[in-house]
């Protein structure tokens, strides 16, 4: 658009405008406007995609937190079970000693 305005300014400073120059400039303006409209549509589409990506990232983050909580609970359960198994083995050993004794 800046180029077109400069062309218009230069052509106005000239004494005699070239025939058809104004229509060419108008055609260029229309063409640039079309390009601008396409870019605006693309920007809007990309904005929608960006918004969807942000929503999906939040969902992924929540799922990650859920998984981390489950892993923590599994580790706690594993520790409790390991302790229970150890204590059961110790009891079995003491029972065997009592029987032998």
pLDDT tens-digit map of 30-78? 898 899 999 999 999 999 999 999 999 999 999 999 999 999 999 999 9
pLDDT at 101: 80
pTM: 0.57
- Domain, as residue range, for 5: 1-10+19-100
Question: Percent of the chain beyond pLDDT 90?
Answer: 65
Q: Is the dihedral of CA 78, 84, 85, 90 positive or negative?
A: positive
Q: Which residues contact 22 (CB under 8 A, 6 or more apart)?
A: 11
Structural domains counted in the chain: 1
pLDDT at 27: 85
Average pLDDT, the chain: 88
């Amino acid at each position: 658009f800046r180029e077109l305005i400069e062309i218009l300014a230069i052509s106005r400073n000239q004494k005699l405008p070239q025939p058809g120059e104004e229509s060419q400039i108008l055609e260029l303006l229309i063409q640039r406007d079309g390009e601008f409209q396409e870019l605006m549509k693309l920007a809007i589409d990309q904005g929608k995609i960006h918004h969807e990506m942000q929503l999906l990232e939040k969902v992924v983050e929540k799922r990650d937190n859920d998984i981390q909580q489950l892993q923590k609970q599994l580790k706690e359960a594993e520790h409790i079970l390991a302790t229970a198994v150890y204590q059961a083995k110790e009891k079995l050993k003491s029972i065997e000693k009592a029987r032998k004794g």
